[in-house]
Amino acid sequence: MAIIIFKEKFMVYHLIGAILIITGIILSSKKKMSKDLTPEQKHILFEEGTEQPGSSSLNYEKREGDYFCVGCGTKLFESNTKYESGSGWPSFFQALPNVFETKIDTLIGSPRTEYHCKKCGGHHGHIFDDGPEPTKKRYCNNGACLIFKPKD
- Report the alpha-carbon distance of residue 27 to residue 34 in Å, rounded: 11
Pick the stretch among 30-38, 56-64, 114-122, 143-151 that binds Zn ion (CB under 5 A).
Answer: 114-122
Angle at 151 between CA 73 and CA 89, to 5 degrees: 60
Binding of residue 90 to Zn ion (CB under 5 A): no
Q: Does 117 bind Zn ion (CB under 5 A)?
A: yes
Smallest distance from the beta carbon of 108 to Zn ion, in angstroms? 24
Catalytic-residue membership of 69? no
Q: Are the C-beta atoms of residues 106 and 66 closer than 8 Å to each other?
A: no
* Cβ–Cβ < 8 Å for 142, 149: no
Tell me if 71 contacts Zn ion by CB under 5 A. yes
User: Is position 72 an interface residue for Zn ion (rule: CB under 5 A)?
Assistant: yes
Query: Cβ 67 to Zn ion, closest distance in Å?
Result: 12
Q: Are 104 and 66 a contacting pair, CB within 8 Å?
A: no
Could you give the CA distance from residue 77 to residue 91 in angstroms, rounded to a whole number? 10
Binding segment (CB under 5 A) for Zn ion, from list 47-55, 67-75, 91-99, 101-109 = 67-75
Interacting span for Zn ion (CB under 5 A) from 14-22, 87-95, 113-121, 128-136: 113-121
Measured CA to CA, the distance from residue 124 to residue 111 in angstroms comes to 16
Binding site for Zn ion (CB under 5 A): 69, 71-72, 74, 117, 119-120, 122
Residues catalogued as catalytic:
140
